[in-house]
Structure 1
């Protein structure tokens, strides 16, 4: 599993970001539906345009190909990717309250 933190560059003009976000949303919905993204969403403790994706893919190469499809990639956002091995998962994780 991989955790990807995405932060849109602060110098991206707001109007350009607004236009690009619809394409970005279509991209993450496509990969969520395909099962590549297990959980994703924006950070709500900041005004920055940033969020996190928990991805379940075959390997880092597959994730890199998926990220390369994002309209922000590579010049309009920073992508910090970490590989993660969950050791414990709550039985009721699917029932957790989502804000």
Structure 2
């Protein structure tokens, strides 16, 4: 396994039967897209695909996010700075929840 493959390997704890409950449906799906060209990505998903923008946040030039509606899902277009903040908060939450391993960085789609 190459170092790039190791960096994108996601490790998780085994799913226990107690974790699964048929009576608890998935209520929402959240997908975050890290976009180097944030403005172009927002224009594509909002203007070309027609996903309505629910809300947008910015903290400086490099920490921006636009949350778009996609049915029962939201699609978040995030600048690299905002994606870094999301990853950091997710790792902290996983540690508090007792997760044994969390990926060092999110897998990057290959295409």
TM normalised by structure 2 equals 0.29
Rg larger for = 2
TM normalised by structure 1 equals 0.32
By relative contact order (CA 8 Å, sep 6+), the higher-ranking structure is 1
